[in-house]
């Protein structure tokens, strides 16, 4: 039997880390088994569901590389199908109309609570055999004498007695199906074989199994994954930092890092930490999911991201870097000199791309995010007049005296290559018995107006002769 999994978000907000991880697990299990991965937008709550949230969820899924099998399903377009199955349940005596008002039901629940019993609907309309009237809801005739046994892929065997369950509402007074009804109908109709979801749904599973049974359907396999906790082991929330996946894209994380990080929050494969998507597809199993909750660890995410910045092809990283460079140019005080940034003057697209590639080579060992990469390397892209030399570090001030001579030698250099520049600098220092620290901090500051940065010969190579000399002149002036 072909495995079919699904991710079924409600579009009431952005895609958060927990949801993204559930989607990833479902995707991986489908890919591992050569099955299908479905995406279903559960938008029956018309008040809280928003198209902009659906768009944001789809964007996050695409960013993470979680490609779903077409078509993309929307529950709001399937109301007739749900109504059909509600009618089947009514006709077969598994469901009944109930005319109790919400206030009456609330009173029943209060009365039960006062008696120390489970607060639930007391079954007033259960045996009345009512036909449809306006405002009636449809309830499931929950059997009172059953034990439901769930073989959960993560939690193991879970047993629930039906006397703990309510005669749940299947169809609201406005004709809209409830979540439990719609999810069962859809998972059945779409051939879903494995439901992997957050354990906030664990209490819904026995209810859904009752609906499966009443309709004569075979339930899928369930696996409920534990919540992601904050670094303080409390429920993950805004105060732990960004929880929306797309925020991480804006903060300069790579999707490869995010996927790798998310999968490790709840799945393990020996002691290995780093996996490509291909490896994940090969190794992922539901048995590998942990039943203990995992806590978020942003240092780990940064570390993984740094790994991917260092190891993915430079051309790819350079391409990913572009929007961050452009952001800095358009956002901050550089705006005034924006038009004079070097990359604008670079001329051709190829020249700009090759400059970005050089920058990635020079900086990728030093950064954890694309934002850091852009912030640290932007000095290479700015026009020399945009550099701010007003705060000269002591070490840079000290070495200034050598720069006039070095500039002359650099100007005379016939081949502007890394090796030629390196030997020029080494010869210069050797002849005068100088050390790196006497000369290089000053030269680096002249080139970048920053204290730290890549090796000076690399910087000189990236900047090119003309730009380098202009920068040295400006610093000296």
CB of 7 to ligand GLU, least distance (A): 7
- Active site members: 238
Among 5, 10, 341, 369, the residue binding ligand GLU under the rule CB under 6 A is 10
CB of 250 to ligand GLU, least distance (A): 23
Among positions 24-83, residues that touch ligand GLU (CB under 6 A) are 42
| Beta-carbon-side half-sphere exposure of residue 16 (alpha carbons within 13 Å) | 17
Measured from the CB atom, is 9 or 226 closer to ligand GLU? 9
CB atoms within 10 A of CB 192: 22
Measured from the CB atom, is 26 or 305 closer to ligand GLU? 26
Helix and strand totals (H; E) in the chain: 20, 12
Name the one range near ligand GLU by CB under 6 A: 3-11, 147-155, 308-316, 423-431: 3-11
Cis peptide before 265 (omega within 30 of 0): no
Among positions 219-238, residues that touch ligand GLU (CB under 6 A) are none
Name the one range near ligand GLU by CB under 6 A: 5-13, 76-84, 289-297, 347-355: 5-13
| 228-229 and 95-98 strand pairing | unpaired
Helix (H, G, I), strand (E, B) or coil at 417: coil
CB of 214 to ligand GLU, least distance (A): 18
Is 293 within 8 Å of 226 (Cβ atoms)? yes
Closest CA to 28 of 228, 186, 225: 225
Question: Which alpha helices (H) appear in 153-287, and where do they start and end?
Answer: 179-189, 204-215, 245-250, 255-264, 277-283
Name the one range near ligand GLU by CB under 6 A: 2-10, 92-100, 318-326, 415-423: 2-10
Q: Which residues contact 160 (CB under 8 A, 6 or more apart)?
A: 147, 148, 150, 206
Is 37 within 8 Å of 31 (Cβ atoms)? yes
Measured from the CB atom, is 45 or 375 closer to ligand GLU? 45
The binding track of 342-381 with respect to ligand GLU, each residue x by CB under 6 A or -, is ----------------------------------------
CB of 155 to ligand GLU, least distance (A): 15
Tokens at residue 235, please? 């429920």
Distance CA 123, CA 168 (A): 10
Distance CA 441, CA 422 (A): 15
Placement of tokens 């709001």 in the chain = 76
456 contributes a contact to ligand GLU by CB under 6 A: no
465 contributes a contact to ligand GLU by CB under 6 A: no
CB of 197 to ligand GLU, least distance (A): 4
197 contributes a contact to ligand GLU by CB under 6 A: yes
201 contributes a contact to ligand GLU by CB under 6 A: yes
Tokens at residue 32, please? 């591992």
CB of 169 to ligand GLU, least distance (A): 17
Distance CA 24, CA 4 (A): 14
Measured from the CB atom, is 206 or 457 closer to ligand GLU? 206
183 contributes a contact to ligand GLU by CB under 6 A: yes
Would you put residue 244 in left (φ > 0), alpha (ψ -120 to 50) or beta?
Answer: beta
Measured from the CB atom, is 201 or 310 closer to ligand GLU? 201
255 contributes a contact to ligand GLU by CB under 6 A: no
Beta strands in 257-414 (DSSP E): 294-295
Name the one range near ligand GLU by CB under 6 A: 6-14, 51-59, 86-94, 285-293: 6-14
205 contributes a contact to ligand GLU by CB under 6 A: no
Among 3, 4, 5, 9, the residue binding ligand GLU under the rule CB under 6 A is 9
Q: Which residues of 20-33 are buried (b: 16+ CB within 10 A; e: fewer)?
A: bbbbbbbbbbbbbb
Q: Phi, psi at residue 353, to the nearest 5°?
A: -60, -45
CB of 466 to ligand GLU, least distance (A): 57
Measured from the CB atom, is 25 or 63 closer to ligand GLU? 25
CB of 286 to ligand GLU, least distance (A): 15
Residue numbers at the binding site for ligand GLU (CB under 6 A) = 8-10, 42, 183, 197, 201
């Amino acid at each position: 039997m072909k495995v079919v999994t699904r991710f079924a978000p409600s579009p009431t907000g952005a895609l958060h880390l927990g949801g993204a991880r559930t989607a990833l697990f479902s995707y991986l299990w489908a890919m591992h088994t050569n099955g299908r991965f479905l995406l279903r937008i559960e938008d029956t709550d018309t008040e809280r569901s928003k198209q902009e949230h659906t768009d944001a969820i789809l964007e996050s899924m695409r960013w993470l590389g979680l490609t779903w099998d077409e078509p993309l399903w929307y529950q709001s377009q399937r109301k007739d199908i749900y109504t059909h199955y509600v009618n089947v349940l009514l006709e077969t005596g598994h469901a009944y109309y109930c005319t109790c008002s919400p206030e009456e039901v609330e009173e029943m629940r209060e009365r039960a609570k006062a008696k120390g019993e489970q607060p639930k609907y007391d079954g007033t309309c259960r045996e009345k055999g009512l036909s449809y009237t306006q405002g009636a809801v449809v309830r499931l005739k929950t059997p009172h004498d059953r034990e439901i046994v769930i073989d959960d892929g993560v939690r193991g065997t879970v047993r629930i007695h039906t006397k703990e369950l309510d005669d749940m509402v299947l169809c609201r007074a406005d004709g809209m199906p409830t979540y439990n009804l719609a999810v069962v109908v859809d998972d059945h109709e779409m051939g879903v074989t494995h439901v992997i979801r957050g354990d906030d749904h664990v209490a819904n599973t026995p209810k859904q199994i009752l609906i499966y049974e009443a309709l004569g359907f075979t339930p899928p396999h369930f696996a409920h994954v534990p919540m992601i906790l904050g670094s303080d082991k409390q429920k993950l929330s805004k105060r732990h930092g960004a929880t929306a996946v797309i925020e991480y894209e804006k903060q300069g994380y790579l999707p490869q890092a995010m996927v790798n990080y998310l999968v490790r929050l709840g799945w393990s494969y020996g002691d290995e930490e780093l996996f490509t998507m291909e490896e994940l597809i090969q190794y992922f199993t539901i048995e590998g999911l942990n039943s203990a909750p995992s806590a978020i660890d942003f240092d780990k995410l940064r570390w993984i991201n740094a790994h991917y910045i260092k190891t993915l092809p430079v051309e790819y990283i350079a391409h990913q870097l572009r929007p961050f460079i452009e952001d800095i140019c358009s956002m901050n005080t550089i705006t005034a000199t924006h038009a004079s940034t070097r990359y604008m003057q670079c001329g051709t697209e190829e020249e700009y791309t090759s400059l970005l590639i050089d920058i990635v080579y020079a900086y990728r060992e030093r950064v954890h995010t694309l934002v850091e990469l852009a912030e640290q390397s932007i000095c290479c892209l700015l026009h020399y007049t945009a550099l701010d030399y007003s705060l000269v570090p002591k070490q840079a001030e000290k070495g200034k005296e050598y720069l006039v001579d070095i500039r002359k030698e650099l100007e005379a250099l016939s081949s502007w290559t890394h090796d030629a520049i390196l030997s020029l600098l080494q010869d210069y220092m050797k002849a005068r018995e100088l050390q790196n620290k006497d000369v290089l901090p000053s030269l680096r500051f002249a080139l970048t107006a920053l204290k730290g940065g890549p090796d000076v010969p690399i910087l000189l190579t990236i900047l090119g002769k003309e730009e380098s000399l202009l920068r040295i002149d400006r610093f000296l002036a």
